[in-house]
Structure 1
Amino acid sequence: MPLKELAERRNTLHRKSDAQTILKHALEDVQIGPIALVSSFGAEAVVLLHMVAQIDKVTPVIFLDTEMLFPETLQYQREVAELLGLTDLRIITPDRNAVFTEDVDGLLHQADTDACCDLRKTRPLNKALNDFGGWITGRKRYQSGQRSQMPLFEKDGAKIKINPLADWTAKDVQDYMKKYDLPRHPLVAKGYPSIGCMPCTSRVSGDEDPRAGRWRDSDKTECGIHFVDGKPVRSGQAA
């Protein structure tokens, strides 16, 4: 079955399903094949990680360590993975030779943020996902204009991408975290509601969009690991 049709069928099937049902069925979906959860271990990531752990703790979880993350994120990742008992955590990093060739001084982000994201996120993730038919993200429609029309299931190049929290609100996230007493990322309390790499993430004031601190003062809104028709999403493209 063509992937676009498969995604459309799953969207129809799960149009009234809750996130846990969507996750459980996706992980068992033989037509999609093996699935991994890709997690940033960021501000809201613990919700989806907790859901997956409740369903199957051996679900592959891919964590992209760009080698430019906040120390707090790395510590939070270790603590959450241990707390939830995740047994197949795959920590991936950029290719050593590529970093030496393209960003030996660690300053590529100052000249070209897209190139830096491609080097440190897109290429490592593509390699890590080679053996999977689909992957799970924690993206939500409320997070930005580009994500406002995001479906639950979508064709992502040669794979299916699953967004089980697509229709969740910020309140839904906080209610879930409170219900299960899940640990918060320590940077959230310091004014970082959306957390990426250290050089490209800044604090956000109370009246700003939660993602305003990502690539501030530029028109870039996505790192490039999300695709439309097989092409990486850049600023100005629909997600």
Structure 2
Amino acid sequence: MGAIDLYAHQASAGFDRKVEASLALLARAQREFAPLTQASSLGAEDMVVTDLLQRGGIASAIFVLDTGRLHPETLALVDRLRAHYRRAVEVYRPDAAEAAAFTAAHGEDAMYQSIDLRRQCCHIRKMEPLERALAGHNGWITGLRREQSNARADVADIEPGQGRAKINPLADWTWGDVWHYIALRGVPYNPLHDQFMPSIGCAPCTRAISIGEDFRSGRWWWEQEGAKECGLHADHASTVPMIAIRETHA
């Protein structure tokens, strides 16, 4: 039984309103924060966001961070996304020399040795390429949802940043909403979701979850819950989410 079979029937009662609100938020972002770019992990939420961009005619770049440790299934989705939407997808990779030096010093599985080494790995493979990907953009679009984890429970529709806003059009969507949308629109998705991986990152840092576990419990599962952010969506020094202003939808 795949993810669509498991979750697509679980859409919330306000699903249609949520879709319209998300499209309206993206249109507002285009007016107020252009040029825009979408940070896509190629997970289910981000594939929905890309579909919303296409549906709403939103002018936005799309980029993917190829960390060098992604699953083959994830990487294969880049070309599927390009072909399905006929949109350019930029791929940013870590500095090869820096990544090689880190691996030579600490080994392929340094992330398991300590939180500090795991964060160093995330910085090299995600944070530095992210800065390059965001350069020149006034707003970046993510697939963050409040339901994903306790650390993201207060995520806002629009988060102010230092000269760059973060737009989260799926902030109030449920996991059932995401899969209902995927089923309705025929959105391509990562087949690893059919293997009970709701949150997919680098291969060494992702595992399948069991029924009842938190959405992100399969990410960095060997760490304490409070440490489970790579830095992309948190203050990198403290791992505390940015102060945000929550939008409301009537």
Structure 2 length as normaliser, TM-score?
0.81
Q: Is residue 208 of structure 1 aligned with residue 213 of structure 2?
A: yes
Give runs of aligned pairs for residues 132-143 of structure 1, distance below 5 A: 132-143=137-148
1:110-147 CA distance string (max 9 Å, x none): 33111111110011101221111110000000000011
Q: Secondary structure at the match of 2:69?
A: coil
How far has the Cα of 1:96 moved from its partner? 1.6
Q: Is residue 222 of structure 1 aligned with residue 222 of structure 2?
A: no
Q: Is residue 180 of structure 1 aligned with residue 182 of structure 2?
A: no
Q: Is residue 40 of structure 1 aligned with residue 45 of structure 2?
A: no
Distance in 2, matches of 1:161 and 1:48, equals 13
| C-alpha spacing 1:124/1:232, structure 2 compared with 1 (3 Å) | farther
Distance in 2, matches of 1:57 and 1:115, equals 35
Residue number in structure 1 paired with 2:85: 84
Query: Which runs of 4 or more aligned residues in structure 1 lie more than 6 Å from their structure 2 counterparts after TM superposition?
Result: none
CA RMSD of superposed structures (Å): 2.1
1:155-179 CA distance string (max 9 Å, x none): 2333111111101111211111111
Q: Equivalent pairs: percent with the same residue?
A: 33
Q: Give the AA of the match of 1:74.
A: L
Q: Secondary structure at the match of 2:165?
A: strand
Q: Secondary structure at the match of 2:42?
A: coil
Residue number in structure 1 paired with 2:28: 25
Q: Secondary structure at the match of 1:18?
A: helix
Aligned length: 218
| C-alpha spacing 1:68/1:34, structure 2 compared with 1 (3 Å) | same
Give runs of aligned pairs for residues 163-178 of structure 1, distance below 5 A: 163-178=168-183
The unaligned stretches of length 5 or more in structure 1 are 1-14
| C-alpha spacing 1:233/1:151, structure 2 compared with 1 (3 Å) | farther
How far has the Cα of 1:103 moved from its partner? 2.6
Q: Secondary structure at the match of 1:167?
A: coil
Residue number in structure 2 paired with 1:198: 203
Distance in 1, matches of 2:59 and 2:83, equals 13
> Which one has a larger percent helix, Structure 1 or Structure 2?
2
Q: Confirm or deny: 8 A CA contact 2:199 2:219 kept in the other structure.
A: yes
**Greater RCO, 1 or 2 (C-alpha within 8 Å, sep 6+):** 2
Give runs of aligned pairs for residues 90-129 of structure 1, distance below 5 A: 90-104=90-104, 105-111=107-113, 112-129=117-134
Distance in 2, matches of 1:77 and 1:130, equals 21
Distance in 1, matches of 2:184 and 2:167, equals 24
